[in-house]
Structure 1
Amino acid sequence: MPDESSGIPDGSPSSRPSPPEASDDLARRRQIRARRRGLKRSSAACERCRTRKQKCDGKLPVCGPCDAVGAVCVPSDRLVIRPETDCQCDELRARVRELERQNGCLRAQLQSIPRPQSTNELALDGGQRDGQVTVPSLSGASRMLLPTFPRLPASELGESGFLSSPWRLWDGLGVTSTPEASEPDFTTASLTEEEKMELVDIFFVKRWPQYPVLHRPTFMEWYHQAAGDLRTFYVNIVLAIGALEKKRSTSSGQAIHQSLFRLAVTKLNHILAANDRDCVQGLLLLSMYGSYEPQAVDIWHTTGLALRLAVGMNMHRRESLGRRGLLHDEMTKRLFWSIYAMDRSICIAMGRPLGIQDADLTMPLPLCLTDEALLAQYEVQALPVPPSLTSNPRDMSTFLHIVQLRRLNAGIYCLKAQSLESTRARYYVELNQWLVSAPRYMNPACMNQTSEWFHIAYHQAVMNLYRPSYTSLPNSTVSPDAISLCADSAISLIINYSSLHAKNRITYSFVALTSLFMAAVTMLYSIRASPALRKDLTKAVIQSNINICCSLLRAIASGRAEGERSASILQRLGTATLAIFDSGVDVEGGIDTEFLSWFGLKSQHGDLSHNTPSVDMAWNDLFDSGFDFGGLFCNDMLL
């Protein structure tokens, strides 16, 4: 037996048990380990105990064996936590400190902005009082940036028969379906001065004739000063619309319109907090952008708010004029009638009530002047009006003719059942007079100044006039001439769109896509309803028209989802319609129901005796009973 006081460990070679004793000891250890299975493993031994291979109780800062002999207890290296060489903790801590500093600066700036009790404290005579900027909550601005046509909930799909065609073409599509925008850190400084001036010129040449919202000399002063949140919004939204128009006209360049639009909407809260006139102007510019990107702006909500503010300022009344000179009065006229034209477009397109009735208006139309003549502050009697066979593309001639069309379309939209035939005849004469009196331009600057566009608007109005509506009497019959007029106008509209596309006058737009699609649907609908038309138009001619429409829809959309969706729908409807030229061919039973749904008629006349009429029956039951104009998409209103 070794001497216990000798300090030799029990595990030394001299103290090892014989082989039988070793096996018994191993068995006892296994039994103890099984009974202590749930216990944690003891801590690592300190350096002295590990070197001497003796048991260490792991107490800190000095273990029991080291404390008993008064030795220095050094913990094992396995208990020391060493920092990793690739740790990013220091960088993250520095980033947190920087963000906290920026947050503090922003909070200080926010608290330094005076907040009046009411936005009515702001000046109503243009501009805003010094230091009196109200920053409203984000909820008001974000409401305008929702899609115009949101995805329909599953619970409402069965009740959507009254909706017009745009809801179905854009259902479920968002602004992300458009081509990719430029980099997120894009600023106006990324554009050269020449590029920005080019976008400004595009806006005033291409978009201004339809909606003369801004006075160009005044805008150029804002552009060069670029001071204030309101002016920054105006400049950025004009650049965004110009970039969108340029992208539609050429195939080169980046899709920067979305980045410019994002820069503009950062100042949208200041537009909502401005005086009513500035707010109306900004909202109308926002709606102009939304007419080409309907899923980026809720144009129904935005245009409605602009009209309400304008009416609240009595801009619809003549009495609001004559206080601040010719320039102010003419810009008031232009602004109100631009809102009027936009309101008519959106309300009729979406099958909703008009924002204001013509009987409530006493505001005169603006004078047919250029911005330069308006700035000169001439007396009205002294303004020279030189005789000319052609119009000036820079004056109000295009806009005045568009307003006249909007008023005619509003009257057609609100037709009454009494004396329907005589009323239709009167509007048909007025539409022909409108087309004959359309201004002529030697070199049209935009699509709205081309003869093709005037013919497109005319033919669309004729279709809306003679297509049956809720004003049709229950037992009335539609004459073959009326059906023929609808078909002829639909085909003529398609031809004029093809001509515009061949001249690169039109590419993608919400207006062009829906207008062309519904014209094609109307053509097929008329052919389906009239045996006489099927005799005059051969199957090959109809097939050619369908192919032209599908090609135009895909070309206009430039690969977007709504273009392919509308083309595939039209192809399916065309195939079903062409089947009636072949005797003995049955068409799927749901095709007629789908036609009804595109016209917003499915839920309006759910009690018809022929819910899905036979394919070889003329659709006179639909023409006799008519369909609700309130749910019909009237595309010319948005042209």
Structure 2
Amino acid sequence: MDREADASSQLSPDGERAAKRRRISASPTHPPREVGLMRNLPGDKFPSFVGSASGIHFIRSVYGSVRQPQPSSGAQARTPEKDIVPGEDDYLSSEVPGATRRLWKDDEVATAPVFHLDCQDLIGWSSSYFTNWHPPYPFLHAPTVLGLFEKLQQNGVPPADTHDNFEMITVRSIMSTSLADRRQSQICSEPRIPNVLVFETYDQAIGSLQRALSRPASVCSLQAALSVQVFLVSMLRLNAASRLGGLIIRMALQLGLHRCPNRFPSFSSQDRELRQRLFWSIYCIDRLICQSMGLPLSLRDDDIDVCYPSEERHQTPCSPSDTRLRCLEFLARHSEIRGHIMELRNKSIKHSQKETDEAVAITARLTRWWNDVEDFADSEPLVLSTYHRTVLTILYHESMISLNRPILALNRSGSAYDAALQHCLGSSRFIITTLYEMLSQTDRAAQQSSAITLLWPSFTWGVWMSTFIVFHAAHSKQISHRTMARLTERSSRILLHVSRRGSVWPDACASAIQHLRAHLLHGRASDGSEGHTPQSSSYAVPLETQIPDHVGQVTAGAPTVSRDESTRLRVNMLPTNTRHRSWRQDISTAPGAPNMTRSTPSPPNDAGVKEAWNTNFGHDGDTSESGVDPFAGFDIPFWLGQDEYAGLVNEWS
């Protein structure tokens, strides 16, 4: 209450304040754009921020434009809220206490005491990691890991209280990642992996690195921390992986990994190659996490002078590069382009790049990267596996979406919006179709060793974002509802397959997709026409006037209110002297249910309110699509450099 009073006392008179809001929202120097979300509403356990690079603005906008169905009286499906993106494990603790829950089933691990380990068993248990994860992230020296296996065969597993044994942490991370991989491939492993070789909980995985905070940084400790981070990323525990990434990056900088090792003759050739591989693995994983969570870049390109494996600039003559490192190089180059996209589209207004040619330059670089990938795949068909070629292909289309999706935050008119929508829609269809075809091939070859599994961590984010683009296109009548139904059904099947890994996010995303899909199809059936938006007495409030989550929330998505309730909330954006009553007073008298249905009101008699009514809703309360545009407006205006509107956020939050 004191904060609200202080904010109100510092603001200008209400009339001037509302006039400024209207000028800012229509100002050409501050066009509508994607913004992040600062969570600090009553009822939240802790404040947090998720940036627009994660797609949170677009997700909230689609939730706001697609009207939500009423939840059934039966069991409610676990669906991610509109304000959460896949990977935010911090928001799972209330529903799924995954940090302390046992990760493995009884039929997956052996709990009996281990008296002898066979090296061939260790190689078999870890084969999935070295087949799928080591080529893109080769931060480990495979012969050294094989030596660790031989040591375990000779000496057995060290005591559990040996927390500073970084070699054992690396082994446990490898085995835990491989064990999760086998859930998706459905390949039984006999004998079962001893539980002393895997992490029983996420807390145990992160807690094993406690000594790394006080011990001097070393390559061995950094490899152990990075192997744990790969395991967390593979399980979509991105908040935890991001915090661990802070430790990893500081250790890497202290070791000087951001400087090209070929500049220093004191390193041996093997050390130079390992340091190079270690740095680019850290770089790629960090960029993946930053984009998925919408966080600022942790590693800046202008602080790095490490050469790519095939383009050594600091050594003459250059030794021929190992072609097996080309997968890492392609990922590193893509991660650099990913960072440029984030800098272009997701920086704050004050520091964002305004050159229109920058987007064209990034598109050219992305296309050149993709041409290089195809050329290498054609010339060296045996180096990149089918799985890794598919990963690179999906990454290309994910970047096309990240580059063009922010344009959809503009008004729905003009050639730029049309082109961006078609680019996003084409890439979305390709992602869904490609992964669905891979899934179909996997089902047909489930008992074969050549079966391809969908292990890459960004597949969930890519399918999730692609499906919301399909929803947006169907709601905007750019594609038919039949096409939407087919693509979203494929998305659900992909996510259900990925959910076999044990992460809660794919299953939750599939449930949310099914809810939105059923609602859109129900709206079409009730209306009796293709693509026509059904009339309803209840719809989601646009983002700039969203009701705080603590008031009430539909499990499958955004909270809904009745038409007159949302009208009253929009009118409340006017100066105080034109309001009939305050927003908080109305909320205090409203029912506690998220859907507060009332009779549709008539346009008010007050001239100022009636003018705003017609502006926002059309004449006589018409709620056509042109009157309700969820992409127009902002949800955290102070992030856009408009600090004078911070009081607006405090007023309704």
TM-score w.r.t. length of structure 2: 0.60
Distance 1:449 1:236, change over 3 A: same
CA drift of 1:627 comes to 8.4
Q: Percent identity?
A: 16
Correspondence for 2:146? 220
Among 44, 68, 74, the alignment partner of 1:156 is 44
Change (3 A) 1:627 1:413: farther
Match of 2:468 in 1: 521
CA distance in 1, matches of 2:371, 2:421: 23
Match of 2:649 in 1: none
Larger radius of gyration: 1
Q: Residue 244 in 1 paired to residue 180 in 2?
A: yes
Match status 1:366 vs 2:309: yes
- Pairwise mapping of residues 382-393 of structure 1 onto structure 2 (< 5 A)? 383=319, 392=323
Q: 2:326 aligns with which of 377, 397, 419?
A: 397
Cα distance, 1:571–1:341 mapped onto 2, change above 3 Å: same
Distance, in Å, in 1 between the alignment partners of 2:393 and 2:278 is 26
Whether contact under 8 Å (1:576, 1:591) holds in the other structure is: no
Equivalents in 2 of 1:273, 1:157: separation in Å?
30
State the partner residue of 2:253.
311
- Per the alignment, residue 356 of structure 1 pairs with 299
* Structure showing greater relative contact order (alpha-carbon pairs closer than 8 Å, 6 or more residues apart): 2
User: Match for residue 480 of structure 1?
Assistant: 418
The answer for the alignment partner of 1:617 in structure 2 is 625
The answer to whether residue 185 in structure 2 is matched with residue 262 in structure 1 is no
Instruction: Give ranges in structure 2 of 5+ residues lacking alignment.
Output: 1-38, 51-82, 159-164, 346-351, 443-451, 525-529, 550-555, 561-569, 575-611, 640-653
CA spacing shift, 1:463–1:618, aligned 2, 3 Å = farther
Q: 1:335 aligns to what?
A: 278
User: Residue 165 in 1 paired to residue 91 in 2?
Assistant: no
In the TM superposition, what whole-angstrom CA distance separates every residue of 1:358-412 from its partner, at most 9, and x where no partner exists?
A: 111122223589xxxxxxxxx9747457xxxxx95xx101000000000001000
1:472-522 per-position Cα deviation (integer Å, ceiling 9, x unaligned): 799998431111111111111111111222233224665322321221112
Tell me the C-alpha RMSD between the 2 structures.
Answer: 4.5
One-letter code of the match for 1:209?
A: P
Q: How does 1:14-413 map to 2 (within 5 A)?
A: 155-156=43-44, 162=50, 164-166=84-86, 171=92, 172-175=95-98, 176=101, 180-181=105-106, 182=108, 185=111, 192-226=118-152, 229-253=165-189, 256=193, 260-262=197-199, 265=205, 268-272=209-213, 274-277=215-218, 278-295=220-237, 298-318=240-260, 321-367=264-310, 381=317, 383=319, 392=323, 395-413=324-342
Match for residue 438 of structure 2?
500
1:67-109: CA deviation from partner (whole Å, max 9, x where unpaired): xxxxxxxxxxxxxxxxxxxxxxxxxxxxxxxxxxxxxxxxxxx
Q: How many residues align?
A: 456
Aligned counterparts of 2:617 and 2:119: Cα–Cα separation in 1: 61
Q: Distance in 1 between matches of 2:532 and 2:139?
A: 57
Change (3 A) 1:159 1:483: farther
Equivalent of residue 568 in structure 1, options 511, 520, 530: 511
1:512 aligned residue? 459
> Which of 340, 343, 366 is matched with 1:431 structurally?
366
Q: Do the aligned partners of residues 577 and 468 (structure 1) sit closer, same or farther apart at CA in structure 2, a change above 3 Å counting?
A: farther
SS of 1:328 mapped into structure 2: helix
Q: In the alignment, which of 572, 585, 610 is matched to residue 534 of structure 2?
A: 585
Gaps of 5+ in 1: 1-150, 370-378, 386-390, 632-639
Alignment partners' CA distance in 2, 1:322 and 1:559: 44
User: Matches of 1:540 and 1:154 in 2, distance apart?
Assistant: 41
State the partner residue of 2:26. Answer: none
User: Could you tell me how far apart the structure 1 residues matched to 2:573 and 2:472 are?
Assistant: 20
Hey, what's the Cα distance between the residues in 2 that align with 1:448 and 1:611? Answer: 49
3-state DSSP of counterpart to 2:309? coil
Contact 2:431/2:466, CA 8 A, preserved across alignment: yes
User: Aligned letter for 1:314?
Assistant: G
Structure 1 residues 563 and 237: alpha-carbon distance in aligned structure 2, compared to 1, 3 A threshold: closer
In the alignment, the residues of structure 1 paired with residue 637 and residue 382 of structure 2 have an alpha-carbon distance, to the nearest angstrom, of 37
Q: 1:209 touches 1:398 (CA, 8 Å); kept in 2?
A: yes
